[in-house]
Amino acid sequence: MNTFVPIAKLLSAGRADDHPVSRGDGGPRTFGDLRRDVGGLTGRLARAAGANWLIASEDAYALAVALLAVLHSGGRALFPANLQSGHLGEIAGLADGVLSLQGACAGPALTLPILEDTSEPGPSFDDLDPETCAIQLHTSGSTGRPEAIHKPLRCLDAEVAVLEKVFGGCGAGSVLATVPPYHIYGLLFRVLWPLAAGRILEAGAIGFPGELAALAQQRPAPLLVSSPAFLKRALPVLDLSQLDARLHGIFSSGGPLEPGVAAAYNAQLRHKLVEVYGSTETGGIGYRSVTDAAAPPPWTPLPGVSVTQSAAADAIAVTSPFLAVPGSFVTGDRGTILADGRFALAGRSDRIIKLEERRISLIEIEDRLKACPEVAEARVVALTAGATTGERVVLGAAVVPSGRGWGKLRAGGKRALREILHNALKPHVEALALPRRWRFVGRLPVTPQGKTVEAELAALFEPAMGRRVDPEILDCRTENGEVRLSLSLEPALFYFDGHFDEAPILPGVVQIDWALAQARRHFDLEGSFHRIETLKFFKVLPAGAQVTLALEFDAAKKRLVFSYRSADATHSAGRIKFEPAP
């Protein structure tokens, strides 16, 4: 059994040099490797004489090395909200330098690579001071504008110790993840907890359900750290009966997970899916496992966490050892406290806007929409300066139809479904608060943590700029030289506009273009497009469909064969010839 070691003492207390720490594309890494890599970077940081370092890495092992090196050099580690170049440039302006895996990043001139080859043994390390050592996280929040959150190492070590106390008995030997390591959830569950508990962390993140199925067979006693978005998308694809014998648990956090999805996993897995509720500011607050979708249980506070009800809008207030500043923190979530200390959540409390000086609750409109049998999910967003509407502010509704809703959409088109939903809202919502613009989508745009961002919701309503032109890739597998991509044809895709309004279908030329684009990503296509040898369209591809794009390339004949298939039909197929390169 592995000995639990707080992060503050990890390198000073040490483990055996051959103790496994990480697996990934860069090969296995041991504790000896970790000591050498941290020592090497610590020396480079000392020579650079910086105090604040932005860590920009999706690789969990590299991020761990950078974090430990910054803290042991006496500096402060900054983590971004995302790795977009514009955001990194803004955050890097607050730092003395950037640490990245490649050693090249937008921002200040000083950029250091995290990993460099060295044969020197790892140096000796002193304990870290949990009070003075600190990190700074950035959260996008509900508006998409980054907000800096300060966290002393004391808070992180306290939460990691609680995670081990509550969940450490699962018997997991390794940790797989679908979430990035630079947000609080991924940092705690994917990086710090495995390091402290002596489990093997996976350096890279899982992108597709097929990758999870493969890694679960290869890694010892794996545990999955995931998000509601991935778990919902993966449910119809994964063979849970095969994962049951391998997975030692699943964690979900970053946003609400539908009770039906959680219950479906828990009905087939012996190690339960655990939802964790918390925030960047508070750390973890509570947890639960849903086994009955019709009666989800309340949340149990984590040990040491006290949950009360604030007088302000029935909001949940938290007192916790994970808070950077002692005292009570009032969240933006509404809820009620039960007699046994557990609590129930009732949605957000802070999404109020004013239209013509009247207060409008976007949450109320969303709840009314989600009560309609034609709606599975809904988000409402305020849209400004509508040149086509003539109004300063109107509401837009992004709706994921239910099975019944998709039936109404196919039978009567967008106009018919809009009318049904409008009529359902009219008895409860003022006329000025009725959504004027609608988008029917296969799923809502979410971050890797499962949260929706106002800017991404608003982009759905842009006429062309900002609209998606590529399908969502749900899964990608290669078998015997054939690449198979599972695609979701969301109705919000630009190509469905005007083709046709009552029953949108995907144009044939777009199907060809997608096949060529994906083939260039997966094959070494030498030469240029010559001609289409055969092309047949058997059945239209409607908005909202999920299909498999199969690609096979004959390098000798320079010929690409493609087809679009669903569960019950082949929709189109073709063969494309390429000219040899001159």
Per-residue pLDDT at 539: 92
Per-residue pLDDT at 392: 61
**DSSP β-ladder status, 250-252 and 222-226:** parallel
Write a three-state SS string for 43-112: HHHHHHCCCEEEEECCCHHHHHHHHHHHHHCCCEEECCCCCCHHHHHHHHCCCCEEEECCCCCCCCCCEE
Q: What is the mean pLDDT of residues 528-545?
A: 88
Domain boundary among 404, 433, 459: 459
- Residue 55, in any domain of the structure: yes
- Residue 497, in any domain of the structure: yes
Chain segment 255-305, per-residue pLDDT in tens:
889 899 999 999 999 999 999 999 999 999 999 999 999 999 999 999 999
Question: Is pLDDT of 417 > 50?
Answer: yes
- Residue 1, in any domain of the structure: yes
Domain shared by 433 and 509, yes or no:
no
Domain shared by 16 and 85, yes or no:
yes
- Which pLDDT band holds residue 229 (cuts at 50, 70, 90)? confident
What's the CATH code of the domain at 483?
A: 3.10.129.10
Closest CA to 125 of 69, 169, 175: 69
Show the domain range for 40: 1-152
Q: Which of 60-64, 366-370, 383-387 has the lowest mean pLDDT?
A: 383-387
- Residue 514, in any domain of the structure: yes
Chain segment 13-47, per-residue pLDDT in tens:
989 999 999 999 889 999 999 999 999 999 999 99
Question: Is pLDDT of 498 > 90?
Answer: no
Domain boundary among 117, 133, 152: 152
- Residue 178, in any domain of the structure: no
Domain shared by 386 and 489, yes or no:
no
Domain shared by 15 and 130, yes or no:
yes
Question: Is pLDDT of 449 > 70?
Answer: no
User: Which two three-digit tokens encode residue 104?
Assistant: 């090249």
Domain boundary among 91, 119, 152: 152
Q: Which of residues 432 and 120 earns the better pLDDT score?
A: 432
Q: What is the mean pLDDT of residues 424-430?
A: 84
Domain shared by 494 and 435, yes or no:
no
Per-residue pLDDT at 365: 92
Query: Cα separation of 90 and 487, whole Å?
Result: 34
- Rounded to 5 degrees, what angle do the CA atoms 194, 201, 103 make? 115
Share of the chain above pLDDT 70, in %: 90
Q: Which of 43-57, 90-104, 474-488 has the lowest mean pLDDT?
A: 90-104
Domain shared by 433 and 374, yes or no:
yes
Domain shared by 539 and 433, yes or no:
no
Per-residue pLDDT at 391: 45
Per-residue pLDDT at 266: 97
Question: Is pLDDT of 106 > 60?
Answer: no
Share of the chain above pLDDT 90, in %: 57
Q: Which of 53-62, 140-149, 317-326, 536-545 has the lowest mean pLDDT?
A: 140-149
- Which pLDDT band holds residue 553 (cuts at 50, 70, 90)? very high
- Which pLDDT band holds residue 146 (cuts at 50, 70, 90)? low
Question: Is pLDDT of 526 > 90?
Answer: no
- Residue 297, in any domain of the structure: no
C-alpha dist (Å) from residue 249 to 241, 246, 269, 284, 515: 14, 9, 8, 18, 37
Per-residue pLDDT at 66: 97
- Which pLDDT band holds residue 110 (cuts at 50, 70, 90)? confident
- Which pLDDT band holds residue 183 (cuts at 50, 70, 90)? very high
DSSP 414-482: HHHHHHHHHHHHTTTS-GGGS-SEEEE-SS----TTS---HHHHHHTTSSSTT---S-EEEEEEEETTE
Query: Cα separation of 39 and 72, whole Å?
Result: 9
Per-residue pLDDT at 310: 85
Are 223 and 202 within 8 A, CB to CB?
no
What's the CATH code of the domain at 392?
A: 3.30.300.30
What's the CATH code of the domain at 14?
A: 3.40.50.980
- Which pLDDT band holds residue 500 (cuts at 50, 70, 90)? low
Are 78 and 136 within 8 A, CB to CB?
yes
Question: Is pLDDT of 144 > 90?
Answer: no
Per-residue pLDDT at 450: 63
Question: Is pLDDT of 142 > 60?
Answer: no
Domain shared by 448 and 478, yes or no:
no
Dmax over CA atoms of the chain, in Å, equals 78
- Rounded to 5 degrees, what angle do the CA atoms 517, 399, 464 make? 45
Q: Which of residues 404 and 122 earns the better pLDDT score?
A: 404
Are 195 and 63 within 8 A, CB to CB?
no
pTM above 0.85, yes or no: no
Per-residue pLDDT at 357: 53
Query: Cα separation of 244 and 30, whole Å?
Result: 28
Per-residue pLDDT at 265: 97
User: What's the total number of domains in the chain?
Assistant: 3
Q: Which of residues 499 and 196 earns the better pLDDT score?
A: 196
Sort 89 into a burial class: Cβ within 10 Å, 0-12 / 13-18 / 19+.
Answer: middle
Domain shared by 439 and 511, yes or no:
no
- Which pLDDT band holds residue 393 (cuts at 50, 70, 90)? confident
Q: What is the mean pLDDT of residues 367-379?
A: 93
- Residue 31, in any domain of the structure: yes
Question: Is pLDDT of 140 > 70?
Answer: no
Per-residue pLDDT at 15: 94
- Residue 237, in any domain of the structure: no
C-alpha dist (Å) from residue 329 to 143, 384, 481, 581: 20, 32, 55, 64
Q: Which of residues 341 and 361 earns the better pLDDT score?
A: 341
Question: Is pLDDT of 201 > 90?
Answer: yes
Q: What is the mean pLDDT of the chain?
A: 87
Q: Which of residues 4 and 470 earns the better pLDDT score?
A: 4
Domain shared by 123 and 147, yes or no:
yes
- Which pLDDT band holds residue 446 (cuts at 50, 70, 90)? confident
Which range has highest mean pLDDT (68-72, 387-391, 432-436)?
A: 68-72
Q: Which of 232-241, 453-462, 518-527 has the lowest mean pLDDT?
A: 453-462
- Which pLDDT band holds residue 133 (cuts at 50, 70, 90)? very high
Domain shared by 453 and 480, yes or no:
no
Domain shared by 102 and 7, yes or no:
yes
- Which pLDDT band holds residue 308 (cuts at 50, 70, 90)? very high
Chain segment 350-365, per-residue pLDDT in tens:
677 767 556 687 888 9
